[in-house]
Amino acid sequence: MKKDLFKKFLVMVLVICTIVATTGCASKKTDENNTTSTEPTTAAQNTSTEKKEIKFFHRFPDEPFNSFIESKIAEYETAHPDIDIVVTSAQNDPYKEKIKVVVGTDDCPDVFFSWPGEFSERFIREDLVMDLKPYLDADQEWKDSLLATQLAEYTTSDGMVYGIPFRLDGKMFFYNKDIFEEQGLSIPATWDEFIAVCDKLQEAGITPIAYGNQDQWPSAHYIGTLNQMLVSDEVRAKDYEATTGEFTDPGYEKALTYYQQLIPYFSQGTNGLTHDMVRTSFSQGQAGMIYVELVEIPYIKQENPELNYGMFNFPTVEGAGDPTILTGSPEGFVVSSKTKYPEECVEFLKWFLGPEVGAEQAQTIGWFNGSVGIDKAVTDDYLKEAYNVIANATKMGPWFDASLYSTVCNEYLTEVSSLTNGDITTAEAMAKIQKVAKEAQTIAATDK
């Protein structure tokens, strides 16, 4: 009898434990804040806590730039718990190749880096980039906070605004003040004065111009600047448009001729040297001058904090163009037309590329975004001067290689590289460029 009672007692205990355990499993869960809830998980609750994923792709994986970007994104996510920004990055050349592949697919990032001009406009022709003009028009405060000359670089001829600047940039000659003082040199303003300075430096056994063209894009900055001075704005606009480009104006060959005059003053073996290599040689006092981007000031500071240098405009060349144009363009971000979250992407860019973050960006990593007046946040004299150069520019001259149709650009850079080696004449180079430009008219017309 006692055994039967004991068995019944064990069965009752097991039943009660099973009920308690089952109830506990059904009622206990952990939410995002690791707090305990007694409510069972439901499909409706899962939906309400889902985050909006925004894919963000940039080309600045080096430090300290990458860390700054990621820290600001983390800050934004904290303030917007419904947003999850997934960041990827790649170096310059791999980035160019990857973005061209993914931008038209379902893997396209919602927000991605893109240069103004032809690089972005090929995406615009395929309706792959969002027009931000309606958002800017609806928020006058945001629009007024951006430098008009820089926003203009991300505006098409029919008024579409397709990007917002992340970092401003322009091209200037930097010169070693100590070397110039030792050699009794003055800052050159004209081409003849510039050549005289180069001769004096060369006679003293000093490399006049640090220049590395292994990656070919540095030559585009020289040629693009010379084209701006030697060819009228109207002709350049026509030729830089793929469907009408001819490059038959004599100013283009003159530009190559002026460039050719500089070859004896460049670093030896220039086509075998990268731009970073020769910038380091300039930073270490091994060259008198270098044609450099203003965004490289932080790199020069890293390479030699004690370097005493100044900057001056590209020497004036008389021609049909405009010598006051500052070569350079802002670099920024665009929004994919395929994004599921257009409003959220725009709100993020409004903050990330706005004056508050811009002031911190300038102070922390030495890059200015397109906001007005953020030079007040920095104390570095070089950075202040750089910002003033860009902010006071009446007109920008977009990067030559970013302005051309891809086949024309490739041909131009190849021929300038051959010219640098002494393997071709200026006339031969232009004949080849004109041939490819003619072919590009037909190809580009079918792309429209």
Beta-strand ranges (E) seen in 90-237 are: 111-114, 164-167, 171-176, 207-210
Q: Which residues contact 289 (CB under 8 A, 6 or more apart)?
A: 173, 174, 175, 176, 197, 201, 208, 209, 210, 282
What pTM did the predictor assign? Answer: 0.81
Q: Which residues pair with 310 in a beta bridge?
A: 175
- Residues 300, 247: contact at Cβ < 8 Å? no
Residues 30-75 have pLDDT tens digits of: 333 333 232 333 333 344 468 999 999 999 999 999 999 999 999 9
For a pLDDT cut of 70, what percent of the chain falls above it? 89
Confidence label for 93 from pLDDT (cuts 50, 70 and 90): confident
Positive or negative, the Cα torsion across 165, 74, 58, 82? negative
What local confidence, expressed as pLDDT, does residue 67 receive? 97
Q: Which two tokens stand for residue 372?
A: 């007005």
Q: Where in the chain is the domain with CATH 3.40.190.10?
A: 50-169+330-392, 171-327+405-447
CATH number of 171-327+405-447: 3.40.190.10
- Residues 104, 426: contact at Cβ < 8 Å? no
Task: Return mean pLDDT, the chain.
Answer: 89
Region of poorest pLDDT, from 10-24, 34-48, 380-394: 34-48
CATH number of 50-169+330-392: 3.40.190.10
What local confidence, expressed as pLDDT, does residue 38 receive? 28
Region of poorest pLDDT, from 29-38, 275-284, 341-350: 29-38
Q: Which comes out higher in pLDDT, residue 29 or 345?
A: 345
- Residues 171, 291: contact at Cβ < 8 Å? yes
Confidence label for 176 from pLDDT (cuts 50, 70 and 90): very high
Region of poorest pLDDT, from 19-23, 33-37, 43-47, 413-417: 33-37
Q: In the predicted model, is pLDDT for residue 10 greater than 90?
A: no
